[in-house]
Structure formats: C-alpha cells, structure tokens
Amino acid sequence: MNDVIHLLPDHVANQIAAGEVVQRPASVIKELLENAIDARANSIKVIIKEAGKILIQVIDDGAGMSLTDARLCFERHATSKISAAEDLFSLKTKGFRGEALASIAAIAHVELKTRQEGDEVGTCIKIEGSEVVSQEPVVTPVGTSICVKNLFYNIPARRNFLKSDAVETRHIIDEFQRVALAHPTIQFSLFHNGSEIFQLPGTNYRQRIVNIFGGKTNEKLVPVEEDTEIVKIHGFVGKPEFAKRSRGEQFFFVNDRFIKSPYLNHAVVAAFEGLLKDKAYPSYFLYLDVDPKSIDINIHPTKTEIKFDDEHALYSILRSSIKHSLGQFNVAPVLDFER
C-alpha cells in the first residue's frame, strides 16, 4: 500500500484560489471596494500607483475590524457575511465566499490598518505570501485601510501577463465606475500616481452618472421605471441619437451588483428596434431589484454572472418598460440625413 494523497498547505491552496479571483489589479480593486461597502462605509478612497501593479490602497470609514478579525479575515473561507448554505438565497452583501483577502494575501504584500468604533487604538497587520509578518497597535481612524503592494510578486508568469499601464488603468476605472454607479450615495475618490482621477460626492443615481460621464450626459438620459411582482426596474437609457458606435456605457445592476448579461442586453436592443442606426449601441444604466431567492450569483468567483429563475419574464418586462419610456419621451428614430 502506498498513500500518495496529502492536503495542500494553506499558502499553496490560497495561491491556487487566487488564480480564479484575482486576474489583474482591477480584480483587487473590485474585491476591496465591495468589502468597504459591506462594512457600510460612507466614504471610500482608492489610491493606485503604476496601474495598481505597485500599489493599490483602499481606505474606508466603515465598521472596521477587531484585533482578532484583522487576522482571521486573511484565512480562507473566513467570512462574517454568511454562516449557512441557505444564507446564499437571502444575500444582502457583496461578499460571501470569504476568499478575496486570503487570495490577495497569497500573491501580494498586504498591510491592513483597522479600528472599530469604541476601540481606543486600532491594529496594523502585515502579511506576505499568506504569512503574518507582524501585528501591532496603531493610531488610525475608525474604518479600514488596506494596502496591496507588488501584486503577483511571487507569480512571475502572472506578473508578466499584465498589460500596459494604460490598459490595466482602464480596467481599474471600469471596476471603479461600476461600483460607484451601483452606490451613488457613497462618496468615492480615485487617485493614480498622485493625481485625482475621480472625486464623486454622495448623490442620487442621475447625478452620479452625470458626475462620471460628464455634464452633457444629463440631457441624454431617458428615465425607465417599472414595478412588477418579479422585478423592480429603475434607471435610464440614452436617447437613440446618442447611441455609440462602440459598446460603451452599458450597465446592468442586479440588487446593487454590476452584472454582465448578453440576454438582457438583447432585451434592451430589442426595445430600441427601429430607433437606432445600424451598428449603433444604445447606452443604458439599468437597476433591477429582484428577490434574492430568485437568483443564483454563485456561478463564478468574480460574481459578474447571474442565473435568474425566470429569465424570459425578465426579458419581456425589461423590453416593454424601455419601449414605453422611449415612447413617452417622444423619441424619434435617428435617420441618416440628420447627421
């Protein structure tokens, strides 16, 4: 008899899991922003250097963590957000897998400073390659600041695979915008190599879109509103004359989470039928609220895909409500000679 199976050491398991969760600096931004939101932050600041390859820092004014939790949060499957499998069907938080921080800590140098309301001092913990290097008391505001340095320092293949700073920064801005659009009442800022890229005050949905995409966006937005048993929809579609030649501003949010859905995109495009020129893509910012029981978000580690119970019903409700809005606003088809 020859036993050959053994359990992988934690740091190896974490590194493998990291391959799924963390593809590039933007994935780290997404996870850290979602954690800050789950901690009920009102204000979130993101600082990056060299497209996040050197530094990603996210500072929030949320609930913070206790001394013990500050250590535990880097363990795999360590989460405060669910405790039983059925909790997956009533999710109110962005996170639930308890994998992000463990993954990130396996492939970067991480420094976490955190303090809870009522604690006099906070705690500062440093981790490298899943190992705690130090933990000390620190004077720090209530909330959490997490620095992720030298991403993929121990996985050269991944590091070399990263694209140019311009491309990686674009991905970061995309993630940042998605989260900011989903949470307009939260204040967000983004700094890259010392310069301010975004400074977004807490506001409403329309104004958040305008603050991100510029003042001219305001007149382009047609409100969409629908309230049914299956789904509540709110948000905006761009008037047909502002449709783009490339897929740009197309956003679906389901229960405050950005998702990709070619199927629902098709419903929007169908609602614009006859109004758009060939090869033009409509802009949209659509927020769908559904019963958490009617969706499965746990299909992919990055959680950008969702399985809906009743996709067909959703499709037709979405299409007809957009059609209705476009009709109400007397939107005329765009004819070639108008250009």
- Which residues of the shown chain bind Mg ion in the complex (CB under 5 A)? 35, 95, 100
Shortest distance in whole angstroms from residue 101 CB to Mg ion: 7
**CB nearer Mg ion, residue 96 or residue 285:** 96
**CB nearer ligand ADP, residue 98 or residue 201:** 98
Shortest distance in whole angstroms from residue 181 CB to ligand ADP: 20
Select the binding partner of residue 96 from ligand ADP, Mg ion, none (C-beta < 5 to 8 A, by kind): ligand ADP
Select the binding partner of residue 168 from Mg ion, ligand ADP, none (C-beta < 5 to 8 A, by kind): none
Q: Judged by CB under 6 A, does residue 46 bind ligand ADP? A: no
Q: Judged by CB under 6 A, does residue 122 bind ligand ADP? A: no
Choosing from 23, 80, 150, 193, the residue that interacts with ligand ADP (CB under 6 A) is 80
H or E element: which one contains 323? helix 311-328
**CB nearer Mg ion, residue 35 or residue 144:** 35
Q: Judged by CB under 6 A, does residue 325 bind ligand ADP? A: no
Classify each residue of 300-311 as buried b or exposed e, where b means 16 or more C-beta atoms within 10 Å of its C-beta.
ebebbebebeee
Structure-token pair, residue 30 = 């997404």
Shortest distance in whole angstroms from residue 103 CB to ligand ADP: 8
**CB nearer ligand ADP, residue 220 or residue 303:** 303
**Which range touches ligand ADP (CB under 6 A), out of 6-14, 28-36, 117-125, 209-217?**
28-36
- The neighbour count for residue 69, using CB atoms within 10 Å, is 14
Give the binding-site size for ligand ADP (rule: CB under 6 A).
Answer: 23
Choosing from 65, 186, 200, 233, the residue that interacts with ligand ADP (CB under 6 A) is 65
The CA distance from 169 to 175, in Å, is: 10
* CA-wise closest residue to 111 among 59, 159, 36: 59
**CB nearer ligand ADP, residue 64 or residue 184:** 64
Choosing from 101, 107, 254, 271, the residue that interacts with ligand ADP (CB under 6 A) is 101
251 within 8 A of 287, measured Cβ to Cβ: no
**Which range touches ligand ADP (CB under 6 A), out of 31-39, 192-200, 290-298, 303-311?**
31-39
Choosing from 31, 128, 168, 226, the residue that interacts with ligand ADP (CB under 6 A) is 31
* CA-wise closest residue to 321 among 259, 276, 281, 267: 267
Choosing from 26, 100, 180, 326, the residue that interacts with ligand ADP (CB under 6 A) is 100
Q: Which residue has the tokens 């505001």?
A: 141
Q: Judged by CB under 6 A, does residue 79 bind ligand ADP? A: yes
3-state secondary structure of 110: strand
Q: Judged by CB under 6 A, does residue 181 bind ligand ADP? A: no
**CB nearer ligand ADP, residue 28 or residue 318:** 28
Q: Which residue is nearest to ligand ADP (CB)?
A: 95
The CA distance from 239 to 272, in Å, is: 10
Helices 311-328 and 262-271 pack at an angle, to 10 degrees, of 30
Structure-token pair, residue 83 = 């405790």
Choosing from 60, 128, 226, 249, the residue that interacts with ligand ADP (CB under 6 A) is 60
Q: Where are the beta strands (DSSP E) in the chain?
A: 43-49, 55-60, 109-115, 122-128, 131-138, 143-149, 187-192, 195-200, 221-227, 232-238, 250-254, 257-259, 284-289, 295-296, 307-308
Helices 25-38 and 165-182 pack at an angle, to 10 degrees, of 20
Q: Where are the beta strands (DSSP E) in 239-302?
A: 250-254, 257-259, 284-289, 295-296
- Contacting residues toward ligand ADP, per CB under 6 A: 31, 35-36, 39, 60, 62-65, 73, 78-81, 95-102, 144
